[in-house]
Chains A and B, each alone.
Chain A
Amino acid sequence: GAVVSQHPSRVICKSGTSVKIECRSLDFQATTMFWYRQFPKQSLMLMATSNEGSKATYEQGVEKDKFLINHASLTLSTLTVTSAHPEDSSFYICSANSEGVRTDTQYFGPGTRLTVL
């Protein structure tokens, strides 16, 4: 089956620093990648949708200047949390699919646990 990896799996940083999270599709080309955030005991919340070679589409309430998304190739998308603050601490999960935006074929990465001190 399709495999999506994320790196790092866990990161702890100081307030004010920027953190980059990578999402890679290992055995397929991902035309669309999604970034989600999950707070403890809560739902996954879609942050943004990105298509290779174009700007990401952000959900309402998500600051695009704070959460920079780059989908530079068909196998890699990055999420950069700029000037991170403790309230950005969360579990960030990406997903990818290779058939446009079909949601039944989204494959999820293992997630990245971000802790901002």
Chain B
Amino acid sequence: EDKVVQSPLSLVVHEGDTVTLNCSYEVTNFRSLLWYKQEKKAPTFLFMLTSSGIEKKSGRLSSILDKKELFSILNITATQTGDSAVYLCAVDDDYKLSFGAGTTVTVRA
């Protein structure tokens, strides 16, 4: 059965800290890996990764994929309280998304 596992399940940091979120996966027909941010309601799209070793960046967020070891990391630098959210990793398995349970990030002022 396909599986997407995120770690840690939750973490608490202070503003300015850097966080690293992990996502490992095991799917049959990998097409891409996606990261989302979920704040109370709808997930919002952050990144889509299809190739190993190519870092995607957007402001203070960056992400990279390792297709050999089947994992991805999401980094957030200089965290702010507005970064507090659940970060979801999802894998496109033949056009269907399988989600991990998410990592809850709490950034304290």
Measured CB to CB, the closest approach of chain B to A4, in angstroms, equals 8
Q: How far is the CA of A103 from the CA of B31 in the complex (A)?
A: 10
Q: State the main secondary structure of chain B at its contact with A.
A: strand
Find chain B residues with CB under 8 A from A49 CB. Answer: 96
A residues lining the B interface (CB < 8 Å):
4, 34, 36, 41-46, 49, 59, 93, 101-104, 106-111
The reply on B22 being an interface residue by CB < 8 A is no
Chain B interface size, as a band, is 20 to 34
Q: How far is the CA of A103 from the CA of B48 in the complex (A)?
A: 9
Measured CB to CB, the closest approach of chain A to B41, in angstroms, equals 4
Find chain A residues with CB under 8 A from B100 CB. Answer: 43
Closest A residue by C-beta to B36: A108
The answer to whether A44 and B99 touch across the interface, beta carbons within 8 angstroms, is: yes
Find chain B residues with CB under 8 A from A45 CB. Answer: 99
Closest A residue by C-beta to B41: A110
Q: How far is the CA of A34 from the CA of B43 in the complex (A)?
A: 13
